[in-house]
A and B are shown apart, each in its own frame.
Chain A
Amino acid sequence: MAEPATTRAADPAIAVRGLRVQYGDREVLHGLSFDIVHGETMVVIGGSGSGKSTLLRTLVGLEKPSAGEVRVKGVDIAKASARALDDIRKKIGLAFQGGALIGSLSVGENIALPLLEHTTLKPTTIEVMVRIKLEQVGLSGFESYSPAQLSGGMRKRAAFARAMAMDPEILFFDEPSAGLDPITAAGIDDLILDLKRAYSMTIVVVTHELASAFLIADRIILLDRGNIAAIGLTQDVRESKLPRVRQFLDRVADTTQDDDVDHLRMYTEGIR
């Protein structure tokens, strides 16, 4: 887990420089710069309105920066041609907060979709791959269900399976455990940890769940009203003495302190 610190200098998976994003006249991100290196799990935390969802959308090219640049695997995604952007997007997977599964397709068809469109694999091969991906997220046997028939947590997991369908090099998760009960949320944290260990993927997670963030992250970015309040190894951020960081961490602790600490200890004792 100490890997990222040593390889940081060489060729980052994602390089962000002076990134500004605005909606109309309102600037949401005020000049962010950071790198995400290959194989690390970077967790972006921050309250609502901190700009973390916008950051995620910008990293995958859904929002255009008003200034600065985002390089994913060396390609400036704001200036890339449609073809170059498509090539990059075939190497990334994004699991949306609400799943964003195509409602007119079954769960299995959703996961098969990128494979059918972008690869020349035989249908039988794709069928097997879909089954494997669904098994990975604990949804075996749900191929023929419609997304509407699944619970929120199952939809999220199906979305993970779809995001992983093309065996991406970089996986993005938008609020993977938001709106889930603690047990399901813990299951999703485990799933991300498994992915990290088994495939050494680069993983970017946006969340406001501190417990989950501290558990899965190699490094953490704390966003505060469109600025980076803190960036660093998980341990360093957790023990940071910076007032704004403390404010954020403690403010959350004000309301759900006991639960969060217990929840956290339950996991951290097993791992660290």
Chain B
Amino acid sequence: MQFVAEVGAATERSVAYVGGLALLFGKSVRLLFFSPLKRSRLLQRAVHQAMAAGVSALPIVTLITFFVGVIIALQGAYQLQRLGAMQLVANLVSISITRELGPLITAIVVIGRSGSAFAAEIGTMRVTEELDALETMALDPVAFLVAPKFLAMAVMMPCLAIWSDFMGVLGGCVFGVASGSFTFGSYAIATRDALAAHDIATGIVKALVFGLVITAVGCQEGFSTGAGAEEVGRSTTAAVVVSILLVILIDLVFTTLFYLARGTA
């Protein structure tokens, strides 16, 4: 019985947590459209966030997805070579990168860079009473801090995902050319033939949702920070761990849905 009660309590907490994320998202969207603050200033803050969370993430996303592209091509070639199907390396790389690894790796990099930063920023502001100060200045912390982050991430995550798709494919291409099975031209054509628009689209939709989840978790963990510097560390850790878990779970759900949708189509 004890066990059942514990499972029940944990379930309740999880549902409440996800409910909190949804509320935070809902409130932010409402405040984006009916902002009590000045729209121009809100956009300014969103651009600032987009620079920090999106543009500054480009170098690391570029490097990692390029290498992942090479790695997939290498691993694929290992098997495909035996079947004499080296031509299929381009298919393997392009589909696994655009549908899965591009958005997922982007999300994990962004969790490490920005999800943790959101939690640390808001958590520190909680500890130093800056959140209270914003409130007493009639600046709603959600409108002031969270809404611009959602906006920035909703724009930047799909952009980063597209870029990482490109870099992943480029990585595969470099291996393909180096292995002598392809020229740049033939690899490009093979990739074009292998990819359907919905491969890229599903990846981009996933990236968008990942971005929203990362923002919601990072900000919620920040707001729930208790007193003291140690608590900021705890929030930051929780933001990263919970974000990764949720992103993988959502990825599973989406991939299953897309798979089923394809089966019936």
* A86 at interface by CB-CB < 8 Å: yes
Q: Of B41, B128, B132, B135, which contacts A117 at CB under 8 A?
A: B41
Q: Which residue from chain A places its CB closest to the CB of B133 in the assembled complex?
A: A100
For the complex, what is the distance from the CA of A171 to the CA of B194, rounded to whole Å? 68
A114 touches B137 (CB 8 A): yes
B139 touches A100 (CB 8 A): no
Q: Which residues of B contact A103 (CB under 8 A)?
A: 124-125, 128, 130
Q: Which residues of B contact A114 (CB under 8 A)?
A: 137-139
Interface string of B115-145 (1 = CB under 8 A from A): 0000001001100111011111111100000
Q: Which residues of A contact B41 (CB under 8 A)?
A: 116-117
Instruction: Please provide the chain B residues from 33 to 72 with a CB less than 8 Å away from any CB of chain A in the complex.
Output: 36-38, 41
* A60 at interface by CB-CB < 8 Å: yes
Chain B residues with a Cβ closer than 8 Å to the other chain, count: 19
Q: Which residues of A contact B125 (CB under 8 A)?
A: 102-103
For the complex, what is the distance from the CA of A224 to the CA of B130, rounded to whole Å? 28
Give the A-B pair count, Cβ closer than 8 A: 61
A96 touches B139 (CB 8 A): no
Q: Which residues of A contact B124 (CB under 8 A)?
A: 103
Chain A residues with a Cβ closer than 8 Å to the other chain, count: 28
Q: Which residue from chain B places its CB closest to the CB of A88 in the assembled complex?
A: B138
* A83 at interface by CB-CB < 8 Å: yes
Interface string of B10-54 (1 = CB under 8 A from A): 000000000000000000000000001110010000000000000
B136 touches A62 (CB 8 A): yes
* A101 at interface by CB-CB < 8 Å: yes
A89 touches B136 (CB 8 A): yes
* A113 at interface by CB-CB < 8 Å: yes
* A188 at interface by CB-CB < 8 Å: no
For the complex, what is the distance from the CA of A83 to the CA of B143, rounded to whole Å? 13
B133 touches A86 (CB 8 A): no
Interface string of A32-69 (1 = CB under 8 A from B): 00000000000000000000000001001110000000
Starting from the known contacts A101-B130, A118-B138, 10 additional A-B residue pairs (CB-CB under 8 Å) come to A86-B36, A89-B138, A93-B136, A94-B133, A96-B129, A98-B128, A100-B133, A102-B133, A103-B130, A116-B41
